[in-house]
Amino acid sequence: MSALPFTCLDDYDPDALSVWRARQFLLETVQPIVGHERLFVREALDRVLAEDVISPVDVPAHDNSAMDGWAVRHADLSPDRETRLTIVGTAFAGRPCDAKLGACETARIMTGAMIPEGADCVVIQEVVRVEGETIVVPPGQKPAQNIRRAGEDLQAGKPALSAGKRLRPAELGVIASLGIAEVTVRRRVRVALFSTGDELMSIGTPLAPGAVYDSNRYTLWGMLTRLGCEVIDMGVVKDDPVTLEAAFRAAAACSDAIVTSGGVSVGEADFVKQLMARLGEVAFWKIAMKPGKPMAFGRIGAGKESAWLFGLPGNPVAVMVTFYQFVQPALMKLMGIDPVPEVATFPARCVVPIKKGKGRTEFQRGILFQENGAWCVRPTGHQGSGMLSSMTQADCFIVLEAERGFIEAGEMVQVQPFAGLA
């Protein structure tokens, strides 16, 4: 197992590592997985291209009309008065065009039809007056107007899509427009998932005194599945060093990455970080953020196999915040997405005061709305990191920078819409 470049963190206080620096370190450390497969276009949605898609043809394949109208020779048109032209044919989309324009001649043309020989301009039908076998064109037409040139979208022999591109519906359409039926994509990232804690119980069983149902595994499964990972659910692992070590070794042997929740704080039964240090290499962070201060990142080995490990906090909201801010971009890097997109934020006016101390970046759950045409936001209410229901009420994070203190009502804050996170 190769050494990790954790020395790049030597100049940073592990008790105050900034959100930005932690994210950058993750993206600098992880590398894309190897392995690819060929898929039919319709099966490749949300997969990542493993190689460039080279266009075999020009798109469009020929000069064609962008509008329904009349193909003309611009030199025949008067710049300051009406011009009368003789109709000599019609050009239809999807058919060869036999029309050839001579002086003062025109052809009816449909959207997408090939430009007739001799024509260099299309006049839209709405401004033309038809009189028997002639048309009358008003002045003011421009050369090459309403013509789409061959290859102006994609050119034969050049990349239409680059490796590292995630295939969304638009990309599937581009591939289909080239007549390509299959593409080479990276294999899915395999992520092993389990929760830790003696207090956790599986759903469907009676709740024992002092116990709680394991919700984090279901939340993480949803986020990982939506991201496009192959999820290996290993259930709940008790707070026992021997059991945890066996789980880590099994997970490292079958996955590219391991995501756990719980076991990374400073309690006596929080064993994850100690096991990470023994089984691999670890950069244990206490990130200057709220919620989600405790988070472990490193690499776990199992014989010749190893996997990246993301040890997330146990509180449900902290799990979601740390996943979206750190784990998701790291997994995108593993998937081979290039470049990993930044999560978009934009300013909004906070309509209520927010209590905050300086020194930590806070991610508060918020509700966006418009007022007098401007974006506004308000917190969902109590911001306890165990209140998962607040995430169902919210549609954004209110991102409060570490250097900011108390937020007065009416101040501008940065918001991170959930719609941009997954």
User: How many CA atoms, within 13 angstroms, populate the side-chain half-sphere of residue 186?
Assistant: 29
- Kindly state the percentage of the chain with pLDDT values over 70: 94
Categorize the per-residue pLDDT at 309 as very low, low, confident or very high, splitting at 50, 70 and 90: very high
- Which letter does DSSP use for residue 11 in this model? T
Domains contained in the chain, CATH given: 6-35+187-335 (3.40.980.10), 37-59+152-186 (3.90.105.10), 64-148 (2.170.190.11), 346-420 (2.40.340.10)
pLDDT at 130: 97
In the predicted model, is pLDDT for residue 12 greater than 70?
A: no
Count the Cβ atoms, other than its own, within 10 Å of residue 357: 11
Q: Is the pTM of this model over 0.75?
A: yes
pLDDT digit string (tens) for 150-181?
999 999 999 999 999 999 999 999 999 999 99
- Kindly state the percentage of the chain with pLDDT values over 90: 75
pLDDT digit string (tens) for 83-121?
999 999 999 999 988 889 999 999 999 999 999 999 999
Whether the Cβ atoms of residue 131 and residue 106 lie closer than 8 Å to each other: no
Report the distance separating Cα 235 and Cα 10, nearest Å: 35
Angle, vertex CA 161, rays to CA 156 and CA 164, nearest 5? 150
Average pLDDT value over all residues in the chain: 91
pLDDT digit string (tens) for 26-69?
999 999 999 999 999 999 999 999 999 999 999 999 999 999 99
Mind giving me the DSSP string for 80-101?
SS-EEEEEEEEE-TTS----B-
β strands within 83-209, DSSP E: 83-91, 105-109, 121-124, 129-131, 134-137, 147-148, 159-161, 182-186, 190-196, 200-201
pLDDT digit string (tens) for 336-367?
999 999 888 999 999 999 999 999 999 999 99
Whether the Cβ atoms of residue 259 and residue 191 lie closer than 8 Å to each other: yes
Q: Single out the residue of 55, 27, 62, 102 nearest to residue 335, CA to CA.
A: 27
Peptide bond between residue 291 and the one before it cis (omega within 30 degrees of 0): yes
In the predicted model, is pLDDT for residue 269 greater than 50?
A: no
Q: What are phi and psi of 346, to 5 degrees?
A: -150, 160
Count the Cβ atoms, other than its own, within 10 Å of residue 401: 15
Peptide bond between residue 209 and the one before it cis (omega within 30 degrees of 0): no
